């Protein structure tokens, strides 16, 4: 889990955020909670976000992947897609998450893939499918994020952003 990896971003997104001095890997990461859970973002674009999470360390008392862990992975991936859709001048805030747990996972990695259901001006909704290493569906989730304009005081909330933040 301590290994370095590079998230695959579309080049236009890299250029947009680099011009603002924003650290993309920090901004579009899983944050402190995601780091503790071992979430790794593999690919990130408004059209598709892919991430993995180990089952080990994220289980409930019966040794199965905790449903809350699946929810954290789903919200992380859907939020990243929503942030990328909104661009550097918008902030994505989750307002609704639902998860259906189809089967348990006891070991290995689970992979989540978030794809847009709706990408509008004020909201974005993503479906997130989480599968095990045998490509069997573990969980299906749907996340809706509200998109709002970034305000000057929001700069402090963005990891890796310069003191003035995005305009």
- Please report the DSSP string for 110-164 in residue order: EEEEEEEEEE-SSEEEEEEEEE-TT--EEEEEEEEEEEEE--GGGGGGSTT--TT
Per-residue DSSP letter, 103:
S
Distance of alpha carbon 62 from alpha carbon 76, whole angstroms: 25
How many CB atoms sit inside 10 A of residue 13's CB?
Answer: 17
CB count, 10 Å around CB of 26?
A: 12
End-to-end CA distance of the chain: 34
Residues taking part in catalysis: 75
């Amino acid at each position: 889990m301590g290994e370095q990896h590079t998230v695959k971003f579309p080049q236009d997104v890299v250029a947009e955020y680099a011009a603002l001095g924003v650290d993309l890997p920090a901004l579009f990461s899983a944050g402190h909670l995601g780091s503790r859970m071992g979430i790794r973002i593999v690919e990130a674009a408004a059209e598709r976000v892919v991430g993995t999470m180990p089952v080990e360390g994220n289980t409930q008392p019966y040794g199965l992947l905790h449903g809350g862990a699946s929810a954290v992975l789903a919200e992380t991936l859907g939020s990243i897609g929503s942030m990328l859709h909104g661009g550097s001048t918008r902030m994505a805030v989750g307002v609704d998450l639902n998860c259906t747990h189809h089967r348990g996972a006891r070991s290995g990695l689970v992979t989540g893939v978030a794809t847009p259901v709706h990408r509008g001006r004020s909201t974005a909704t993503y479906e997130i499918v989480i599968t095990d290493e045998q490509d069997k569906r573990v969980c299906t989730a749907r996340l809706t994020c509200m998109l709002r304009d970034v305000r000057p005081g929001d700069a402090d909330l963005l990891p890796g952003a310069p003191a003035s933040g995005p305009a």
